[in-house]
Structure 1
Amino acid sequence: MANFTYLLITISLFLDLMTVHPSTARPTTFLQDFYITWSESHIKQMENGTAIQLQLDPTSGCGFASKNKYLFGHISMKIKLIPGDSAGTVTAFYLNSNTNEIRDELDFEFLGNRSGQPYTVQTNVFARGKGNREQRMNLWFDPAAEFHTYSVLWNQHHIVFFIDSVPIRVFKNIESKGVPYVNSQSMGIYSTLWNADDWATRGGLEKIDWSKAPFYTYYKDFDIDGCTVPGPPSCTNKTNNWWAAPPYQQLDPIQSRKYRWARLNHMIYDYCTDKTRNPVPPPECLAGI
């Protein structure tokens, strides 16, 4: 039964590749939408500026950020992670409001591992300063063998984290139940490659093997389709945008099946079920998100 379910997911992934979401985002070069935030010497543009290479070595990691901030939209990047022994490294792709104690943030963090072990993706949601909502999954493919698409759909109804076309996490807007939601602050888009061997792999037990350095992560197809802040008049009415339309306000039946499959087969940690940290499940967990 598990193999049959995996076959259905694989077929569905193929069909999704044949379908284009109604994005109006233009293909961009790196410098059109981003700037380097630290260690410029460790970021190399490739393919006429449509792809970049990030480098981590004993001297430094590196990072970049979007020139604009956004309030709602669809953001995606194709990323190819560090091959082989990547223990202790973290590649992060996230949105952040940069507002300190009341920050909003949506995180993809890819936690490296020893050769032959699966990569772990950690997601987190900060809403008005409240975070500690970590969930982790082992990836079901080799993310260093080829590029995969990592996306965030963010509207007034929910936030969905996607890997390729598989939704791996949904955070619903249930402000009516007293749970803060990410809907009042614009956020920039960031990415970093850095040394996190004090916690990233097996809680910090596995350290970076610097004899394997330098380490490289690759990005391409920067797709940002969101409302810039300050933005055009069309963004004042948030229902005008495709990502806020009714089909995108909840998972459709195929997405729901993929979501259940991913979480049932690949989730290895969920703050909602961590009795040590949360003897009483947080309210968003009781709402099934």
Structure 2
Amino acid sequence: MAYLFCAPCGNALFPFVLVFLFLISTPSMVAIAGNLYQDVDVTWGDGRGKILSNGQLLTLSLDSASGSGFQSKNQYLYGKIDMQIKLVPGNSAGTVTAYYLRSEGSSWDEIDFEFLGNLSGDPYIVHTNVYTQGKGDREQQFYLWFDPTAHFHTYSFLWNPAHVVFYVDGRPIREYRNLESFGIPYPKNQPMRLYSSLWNADDWATRGGAVKTDWSQAPFTASFQNFRANGCVWSNGVSSCKSNSTSHNAWLSQQLDSHNQKRLKWVQMNYMIYNYCTDVKRFPQGFPMECTVRTKS
């Protein structure tokens, strides 16, 4: 480590030197963003989706004529995907900002974050779902413990052979485990692409469709930055992760340790507002098998 001296300054410069040296000697503390021009394509919206700031920022907009969306250039078969999102501010009732992984075909796999808009002052609802072979209906919903419209926050998927984990700012909020040994399908064979869209869903999004989109507030805009994908890129039927090697891909075998299990339970105890595994009215004849296995395990 280098040392800097300033005799006339006495000790006044010393704290600043320490901070400077700490920053330049710990690159892991510095967020290095990719270039969105290289990572994603804006796929629809007739100009309502825009990549700005030399590829460091992407915005999606929605008005009464259309929403907009983008998708990742790569497909992945397992991955750790992160993106920072700032949601639509103010009265966003009726709008949905979707951020999800999805495969192609009629029997698709899918892992969803959907952010349901709200009346100004009400909390956003984070709607999550997992599809396997075209079947979903595995919804869990949460409030957030911060205002997701004021600043960027990081929303992440961990998808590996053991489980799918949803994260908010590095805190797990939901885990969907691989329970194939019990005959429960798990998304493992179909490569998925990352998608995001901003669209109108006022028939169901806010209070079950009771609150409609106020188009006088349009255009509605959500912002995205710092896309990161540590994933097994799928190309021409071949994965970039040879034999699921974990030597350079620690996320492939990453589990939730006891600390993160506690953090997960904290979110679910304090901020979960809907869990399909406890919806007796919806499943009067018994809960789906993965709910029962989870309870016993």
Work out whether the TM-score is over 0.5: yes
Post-superposition CA distance 1:190-221 (Å, at most 9, x none): 00000000000000000011111111100000
Q: Distance in 1 between matches of 2:250 and 2:56?
A: 25
Question: SS at the partner of 1:152?
Answer: strand
- What is aligned with 2:4? none
Report the alpha carbon displacement of residue 287 of structure 1 after superposing the two structures with TM.
2.2
Structure 2: runs of 5+ lacking an equivalent: 1-25
Residue type of the alignment partner of 1:155: N
Partner of 1:288, secondary structure, is helix
By how many angstroms is 1:254 displaced?
Answer: 1.6
SS in 1 for 2:122: coil
Residue number in structure 1 paired with 2:169? 164
Q: Which residue is 2:218 aligned to? A: 213
Corresponding residue of 1:65: 71
Over 3 Å counting, the alpha-carbon distance change for 1:197 and 1:44 in structure 2 is same
Counterpart check, 1:253 vs 2:258: yes
In the superposition, relative to structure 1, how do residues 150 and 233 fare at CA in structure 2: closer, same or farther (>3 Å)? Answer: closer
2:211 partner SS: coil
Tell me if 1:35 matches 2:41.
Answer: yes
How far apart, in 2, do the equivalents of 1:167 and 1:94 lie? 16
1:1-289 aligned within 5 A: 27-100=33-106, 102-230=107-235, 235-240=241-246, 241-245=249-253, 248=254, 250-279=255-284, 280-288=286-294
Change beyond 3 A, Cα 1:33–1:287: same
Distance (Å, rounded) in 2 between the aligned partners of 1:284 and 1:103: 19
Report the identity percentage: 51
Residue identity opposite 1:238 in structure 2: N
Secondary structure of the structure 2 residue equivalent to 1:31: helix
- 1: distance between equivalents of 2:38 and 2:27? 26
Distance 1:131 1:212 in 2: 33
> What is the CA distance between 1:234 and its match in structure 2?
5.3
**Alpha-carbon contact 2:103-2:110 (below 8 Å) kept:** yes
| Comparing 84-93 and 31-40, the one that deviates more | 31-40
Amino acid at match of 2:209: G
Report deviation, 1:26.
Answer: 7.2
Q: Kindly report the root-mean-square deviation, in angstroms, between the aligned alpha carbons of the 2 structures.
A: 2.0
